[in-house]
Structure 1
Amino acid sequence: MTDGRIFFSVIFFNALIDLGHKIALQNTVFKVYDGSQQIILVAIINACILLPYIGLVMPVAKLADTHNKVKIMRATAAASLMLTLAITVFYDAGWFWPAMVMTLLMAIQSAFYSPAKLAYLKLFWGEARLSEANGWAQTASISGILIGTLAFSVGFEYLYARHAIVLADTNALIALLWPLGLVLVSLAMLQLYWTCRIPLLKEPAMEQGAINSKTNTSSVSRQSLFELLSHRRRLLPILCLALFWSVGQGMLAAFPAFAKAHAGITNTAVIQGVLATTGLGLALGATCVGRLSGPRIELRFVPLGVVIMTLGLTSLSLLSTATAFAMVYFMMGIASACLIVPLNAYLQKNTPSEQLGGLIASSNFLQNIAMLAMLLLTIVMALWGVDSRYLLQLMAALTAIIGAYLSIAIVNDSRS
């Protein structure tokens, strides 16, 4: 296997593992709870994933700028294996809330992995192939999400269906899922194996970052987060990505309750299958955008992505069948690729290599602040008893107004 395929395999397994545990918890909540209580608990699960990206932004950024990217990825892969072993123990014991805490710990290792992954991407492929490399990286990641969503949802339904009675307790239900924990451990072992085969590369920017760190002039300590993002060509793409990810979080939190209440869908495999079509669209879209861009960074895809996403969100609240939902989510997946691939490549191109790790961590920080804000809004609306249909319509309006401004500004700035 070539070095590039090894790297993309690691991205694939990382996405698969991170999603598998989350799917198990979300499906457990879906089976036991309804309405606002379900929305709130799903939002809490998603918040556990976001918080490390916010609270650990400074240490993550400093580590990414001053240490070898491959060694960071190997350390996080080893941590992932240890955590999946603990998750399996908690599943078998029927401990739902300790398993929930493991979501937070899994997110901590992921927060350290993400900047190292994207910084290595630029180091290995260079600026000339950034769009293509980002396209393949997104394809690998979304393929892991797609396969993980379907496999763990089908596995969940199989284990759930083996019991004739309906389990109304999260601890009793989570105890059935220990075989899924063993699957997570197996995947984590494969991830660690392939991560250890990623080639170590000489990183001049890392050496300079280490020197700066010793003199207390690293990109993170020398300038504040806002100074690091003061360049419009960095800030605007990050804000646009933050809008996309926050809307995505709102959709993930609100859609299961919406589908259950308005379409009568109670099978978790169907719910997760509909959501997984987003991944299918994103994987296809990322591949196409990467190939169509070639050596260039085609920011003209960004306004197109905003338009498609707005139309998708608007139509979603008017539909009532799983097939129609799946078609809309597939199109929104393509729209997502039109945003993620060119914007990530544009960010990487406009950031010096010695600051890239810090910028990615800072980008994750702002994006996760936006996602957490959307989750809090979702919780507040659920507590007020607001129908999930109106939350989807609100997200459509936010995407249309804010997305239009940001996408036009990004394209205009790139031409100046």
Structure 2
Amino acid sequence: MKDGRLFFSVVFLNALIDLGHKIALQNTVFKVYDASQQIILVAIINACILLPFIALVIPVAKLADTHNKVKIMRATATASLLLTLAITVFYSAGWFWPAMIMTLLMAIQSAFYSPAKLAYLKLCWGPSRLSEANGWAQTASISGILMGTLAFSVGFEYLYSGQVIVLADTNTLIALLWPLGLVLVSLAMLQLYWTYRIPLLKETALEQGAINSKTKISSVSRQSLFELLSHRRRLLPVLCLALFWSVGQGMLAAFPAFAKAHAGINNTVVIQGVLATTGLGLALGAIAVGRLSGRRIELRFVPLGVVIMALGLTSLSFLSAAIAFAMVYFMMGIASACLIVPLNAYLQKNTPSEQLGGLIASSNFLQNIAMLAMLLLTIVMALWGIDSRYLLQLMAALTAIIGAYLSITIINDNRS
């Protein structure tokens, strides 16, 4: 299907562009700072990405429900091009903090793009092929993330290695990255071109005026949140998913500083390559869990995922070789699939179809708050001078204790 290939190509490019800029900033921080300063700045970068998904939940929901989905994607693609042009200017001028602010603005356009993308999937493929379409979209997104991680890290190291002296200033270092800015602009132009080639689809609800935006927003921000909090079989899987995503955020913030301080790894390609193995494990794990589950929801994978995650986080603090780190992160990616696949299916099973959209919005809202809370905890521990090794061990303990309670409770509730 030609239109499908165009759409999934846009999904791939969107993930690649968003991550490319983030990787450039994170690698700059990695080269210039150590220990607590590095952890704090990486946590701030990740927080900039999360904040729009929390603060803009109401306007994003309103726009997604009242406007054509393809037009929204075209508008966000246009914004992405303008922002990458600004990023290139800031790179060239050696302005680190304005480039950091662009991370927040890029996340804002992503916050508006994401629900339009998911809604377009259902419009284009229909309920009967929704699982297949989501699978392809997830594959395209993960591929973009992996490609962005590796390509921009390799590009960063190539530009950095050409310097005969060690650069100890973020502004001086980021000024070297203007070629990466041009790559971002080129990708954004291609994304915009492909987005305008995606045909506009007839959206019956919009044409018939069937959507009352005020009622819809109230449902997303109040009623759906109340429904989530008041139903145990919906709340517990969301809390378990929130635990997983928040631990993941803490891991992303703490690991680069840990690897630099305790394993002597200074190459950003190695660091980002290790982190990228999580995405590979997640993709392969999702396929395996889906096939092993068949038509059933296998909640027995959830405690297995918790155990693997806890053991992986614990083992990280005792390792020092890049290949060992990569193997552990790959296994934690598989563990992630053991959590995400059955918990999302269990959540959908226990939610009426007419409430599912609002519940997903409320679930994402709570999960983003949990991730932001973990980043704030990471920043506080770094300010107190606590070693990154102990931060990883704390996350392992949280995963083991809270994850064990939630997974066992979910399984018992399902049996009753």
Displacement of 1:206 after TM fit?
5.6
Q: Is the 8 A contact 1:131 1:295 kept in 2?
A: no
Change (3 A) 1:127 1:349: farther
Distance 1:317 1:301 in 2: 25
**TM-align CA RMSD:** 2.6
Change (3 A) 1:217 1:375: closer
Q: Is the 8 A contact 1:205 1:353 kept in 2?
A: no
Q: Is the 8 A contact 2:228 2:235 kept in 1?
A: no
Distance 1:275 1:404 in 2: 25
Q: Is the 8 A contact 1:92 1:177 kept in 2?
A: yes
Which stretch of the first structure deviates more once superposed, 137-146 or 225-234?
225-234
Change (3 A) 1:203 1:173: same
Distance 1:209 1:393 in 2: 53
Distance 1:357 1:299 in 2: 23
Encode CA deviations 1:81-119: one digit per residue, 9 max, x unaligned.
111111111111111000000000011111112222233
Distance 2:216 2:134 in 1: 32
- Percent identity between the two aligned chains: 90
Q: Is the 8 A contact 1:50 1:107 kept in 2?
A: yes
Alignment TM-score, normalising by the size of structure 1: 0.91
Change (3 A) 1:310 1:205: farther
Change (3 A) 1:210 1:52: farther
Change (3 A) 1:307 1:127: farther
Change (3 A) 1:205 1:411: farther
Distance 1:208 1:408 in 2: 46
Distance 2:281 2:400 in 1: 20
Distance 2:118 2:151 in 1: 27
Aligned length: 416
Alignment TM-score, normalising by the size of structure 2: 0.91
Encode CA deviations 1:225-271: one digit per residue, 9 max, x unaligned.
33455444433332222111111110111001100111011111111
Distance 2:196 2:229 in 1: 33
Q: Which runs of 5+ in 2 are unaligned?
A: none
Encode CA deviations 1:167-199: one digit per residue, 9 max, x unaligned.
111111111101111111122222223333444
Encode CA deviations 1:48-68: one digit per residue, 9 max, x unaligned.
111111111111122223333
**Are 2:175 and 1:175 equivalent residues in the alignment?**
yes
Change (3 A) 1:215 1:340: closer
Q: Which runs of 5+ in 1 are unaligned?
A: none
Change (3 A) 1:274 1:240: same
Change (3 A) 1:315 1:115: same
Distance 2:114 2:229 in 1: 18
Displacement of 1:32 after TM fit?
0.7
Change (3 A) 1:115 1:294: farther
Change (3 A) 1:65 1:227: farther
Q: Is the 8 A contact 1:314 1:393 kept in 2?
A: yes
Q: Is the 8 A contact 1:90 1:99 kept in 2?
A: yes
Which stretch of the first structure deviates more once superposed, 208-217 or 387-396?
208-217
Change (3 A) 1:105 1:287: same
Query: Which residue of the partner structure matches residue 341 of structure 1?
Result: 341
Q: Is the 8 A contact 2:13 2:191 kept in 1?
A: yes
Displacement of 1:292 after TM fit?
4.4
Which stretch of the first structure deviates more once superposed, 231-240 or 241-250?
231-240
Distance 1:122 1:45 in 2: 32
Distance 1:62 1:217 in 2: 6
Encode CA deviations 1:23-73: one digit per residue, 9 max, x unaligned.
000110111111111111111111111111111111112222333333322
Encode CA deviations 1:309-363: one digit per residue, 9 max, x unaligned.
1221121111111110000001111112222334345545655666555433322
Distance 1:261 1:333 in 2: 24
Change (3 A) 1:404 1:134: farther
